[in-house]
Structure 1
């Protein structure tokens, strides 16, 4: 793991569901855990799922490129190859996408593959991959 990275604490309502989703579906390695939380290796970053009784992620929406993007959300930038491997893995697991994997801003600065989904607690996640990584912050 290369530092610096980020640390995100995320509320979930059921740790077994979180373990199945983040471990089995997303394929993340589990780190330390206790009765009310689990550390995950989120591609070199620390993601911690904490049980918050009764939590259900609620997201508004913001229109982007003809889609209603869930807000708030978090996610990860991947290579195009890894993006498609993950998309295939999610499809094979029967994941219901909020926004199906597609190419956004085609031919424009910031062209990217993107997909949105919810974890079992309703937290919104986005995964994306840029055609040209130098365009991540392009205007």
Structure 2
């Protein structure tokens, strides 16, 4: 099994803990006053405080929907997707792209949703109908 490591910018540690630990249920790893690591669905996220954030561009066109670039996220199972969707709804997290099924009836059929974390980073959550089709075209 492989995992990825991704370092990204956040506005502050407190709101970052609130979003990734309290809302998503990620476990906290090492941290200082200026950065914090999380277990993000078996991947390592390193959030570093910054005051300069890249401008988002909605140049991504996927199945007819504009998506923010850059973004990151994870592929999870359908049950986890539904639990996270419910948690976002209960906490009044606005969807950048509302939960929906993409490529319905086609190879690579998947549930997808986009939200912003509390620092404005766009995240995508995906759940494939058939995980054997994650890299299929």
Pairwise TM-score range, normalised by the shorter structure: over 0.9
Q: Does 1:18 align with 2:31?
A: no
Q: 1:96 is matched with which residue: 72, 94, 109?
A: 94
CA distance in 2, matches of 1:15, 1:4: 27
Q: 1:112–1:129: 8 Å Cα contact kept in structure 2?
A: yes
Q: Could you say which residue in structure 2 is the equivalent of 1:132?
A: 130
Segments ≥4 residues shifted beyond 3 Å: none
Match of 1:34 in 2: 32
Worse-superposed segment, 11-20 or 108-117: 11-20
User: Where in structure 1 are there 5+ consecutive unaligned residues?
Assistant: none
The Cα of 1:23 is off from its aligned counterpart by: 1.1
Q: Which residue of structure 2 lines up, in the alignment, with residue 58 of structure 1?
A: 55
Give 1:57 deviation, angstroms: 4.9
Aligned-residue offset at 1:63: 2.1
Deviation at 1:59, TM superposition (A): 1.5
* Aligned-CA RMSD value: 1.2
TM-score (norm 2): 0.94
Partner of 1:107: 105
> Number of aligned pairs?
136
What residue is the counterpart of 2:81 in the other structure? 83
Contact 1:73-1:126 at 8 Å conserved across structures: yes
Residue segments in structure 2 that go unaligned for 5+ positions in a row: none
Q: CA deviation at 1:55?
A: 2.9
Alignment partner of 1:67 out of 62, 65, 71: 65
- Could you state the TM-score of these two structures normalised by the residue count of structure 1? 0.92
Q: Secondary structure at the match of 1:138?
A: coil
